[in-house]
Structure 1
Amino acid sequence: MAAPIAYSLIATDLDGTLLRGDDTLSDRSLAALARVADAGAQHLVVTGRPAPRVRPLLDDLRCTGLAVCGQGAQVYDAGADRLLWSITLDRELAETALGKIEAEVGQVYAAVDQDGVDGLTLIEPGYLMPHPTLPAVRVERRDELWGEPISKVLLRHPHLTDDELAATARSVVGSLATVTMSGPGTVELQPCGITKATGLALAADHLGLRPADTIAFGDMPNDIPMFDWAGHGVAMANAHPELKAVADEVTLSNEDDGIAVVLERLLGGTAQAQYGPLTLSIEP
């Protein structure tokens, strides 16, 4: 019989957390997640990526259950390839919010994730995808971004840092949208009040699990609500300082299999023969 694990729900961000920099999963991470499943726990991806951009990774993880996508705006059933729940960002409010931001910082470059399991990522002229491996469709004019329902807007500024752009956006957007920062070059506007915790709570309730049953892993400020909701929050060594400040512990980086290190420790096993000695996580 597999050893029990202290948490029944393992919630992991993808970029900068479970995935390596080249968008791949290590054998060690896959093995740790397989052991978690054998022990009776569930793995739940909780990501800013929209559902269509997550499907190939869920296939790699052999996931046929739920995933939280779009910064919590979507709960996706991988097995049925459908959204159990989704909420869209009002396009007029999004355009107004974008205008307020540009009034403060000058021109920004925008992209949108369309709603739905087959929604496209549209990018306006000048916008550079932070993840060049992700597919996107370039439009000729900004007004073409608003043609179909959207789950979020992605913003980039030619000179400001992500922290600077996010801070300014929060100061002027108000209740028009929620502003998040989810990775290098990724400041986002999403429906007001919607965070990763929103989708995680809905998915956990669907699975009959509670915050106390949950350990969450992340690397960016958009993971803070997820950490606030979960029973235990683990930041990666490469995480943003704001997330490390609220984490219960800090593990190794995504490149060094930080998630696997923690899961192996929780399972009480050892991966020393195959992967070398385990490294305990470091308290912040």
Structure 2
Amino acid sequence: MQFKALCTDIDGTLLDKNREISARTIDAIAQLPADFPVILASSRMPSAMRHLQADMNRLQNPMICYNGGYIIHFNGREDEIERLDTVKIPLDICHHIQQLSVGTDIHVSVYHEDEWYAPKDDFWTQREITSTKVKPIIKKWQHVMPDWESRQAGAHKVMCMGPAEEIDGLFKALEDQKNEALHLYRSKDTYIEIAPKSISKASALEQLLAKKYNIALSEVIAFGDNYNDIEMLKAAGHGVAVGNARDEVKAVANEITAGNKEDGVAMMIEKYLL
């Protein structure tokens, strides 16, 4: 097979048991031509992806953040960001989500571009810091909202974390009330990742390839493990599910590789690209 680009999810797909890119995967990527795009597509914020690009020596490649809501390219400089697309959750919906969490133990973090606002430094905040190696700004929603109103900002992502039963209740409420406006992702029973309905990793990848490389989706090998990867794997020329992927992801994949802890992505790079 002849591929012109690679696109991969991060958590549960590219990273190993230590939440790092394994030496084998880094070595496989290092053998690819310098002009071969290696694109990260994740629900993460830019800062939580940039250090992984550095590990791969791929700082010159664009990234798909927030499940497709924010597509950027640093153009070789940290202070020079090319915004290829940006789609946000409007402030009124952000506020509605916050109101639904009042009186519960649900932690609601909001993200805009490369800013993460957490309401307090609690268990959930520390868990995300450990996972992403990024620290938030501690600021309650009632102080974030006026600032965002003045800047005409919105949320690229809202992350809700808390007890499974309360998260279930919030999920059902949002599904009933805002189903036409929001994507609701359940990576765990204690998490809901919320993004605008109009975006996906697949649509973002197609747009990015057209704008930066003149490459078709059919010329891409893509990797994933979770629900938010399904459309991307279906759209790519060769969609690969890692061995630990959800059954629904495996069902749409062209091929299933080893799990993320067994270097499944590296195996496919070695098989098809080297």
Q: Is contact 1:73–1:198 with CA below 8 Å preserved after alignment?
A: no
Instruction: Say if 1:111 and 1:127, in contact at 8 Å, map to a contact too.
Output: no
CA distance in 1, matches of 2:129, 2:191: 13
Q: Is the 8 A contact 2:106 2:167 kept in 1?
A: no
Unaligned runs of 5+ in 2: none
Residue in structure 2 matched with residue 88 of structure 1 by the alignment: 88
Give the secondary-structure state (helix, strand or coil) at the position aligned to 1:28.
Answer: helix
Pick aligned residue for 2:11 from 7, 11, 15: 15
Task: Indicate if the aligned counterparts of 1:110 and 1:127 stay in contact, CA closer than 8 A.
Answer: no
Which secondary structure does the structure 2 equivalent of 1:37 belong to? coil
CA contact (8 A) 2:30 2:56 kept: no
What pairs with 1:1-284 in structure 2 (closer than 5 Å)?
6-37=2-33, 41-63=36-58, 64-78=60-74, 79-81=76-78, 82=81, 83-99=83-99, 102=101, 108-115=106-113, 119-125=114-120, 128-129=124-125, 130-133=127-130, 134-137=133-136, 139=138, 141-146=140-145, 147-148=147-148, 149=153, 150-160=155-165, 166=171, 169-182=174-187, 185-206=190-211, 207-267=213-273
Q: Deviations over 1:28-48 (max 9, x none)?
A: 10121122336x642111111
- Structure 1 pair 174–107 and aligned structure 2 pair: CA distance change class (3 A): farther
SS in 2 for 1:45: strand
How far apart are 1:76 and its partner, in Å?
Answer: 1.5
Gap regions ≥5 residues in structure 1: 270-284
CA distance in 1 between partners of 2:245 and 2:173 (Å):
22
TM-score by length of 1: 0.80
Q: CA 1:84–1:157 in structure 2 vs 1: closer, same or farther (change >3 Å)?
A: same
Distance in 2 between residues matched to 1:29 and 1:165, nearest whole Å: 38
Q: Deviations over 1:208-235 (max 9, x none)?
A: 1111101110111111121122122111
Q: Give the aligned length.
A: 258
Q: Is the 8 A contact 2:161 2:192 kept in 1?
A: yes
CA contact (8 A) 2:61 2:73 kept: yes
TM-score normalised by the chain length of structure 2: 0.82
Instruction: Name the CA distance, whole Å, in 1 between partners of 2:214 and 2:168.
Output: 37
Q: Percent identity at matched positions? A: 24
1:74-115 deviation line (CA, Å, top 9, x unaligned):
111132441332222212122224545x59x95532101122
Distance 1:182 1:131, change over 3 A: same
Change (3 A) 1:70 1:216: same
Question: Does the aligned pair in 1 maintain the 2:162–2:191 contact within 8 Å?
Answer: no
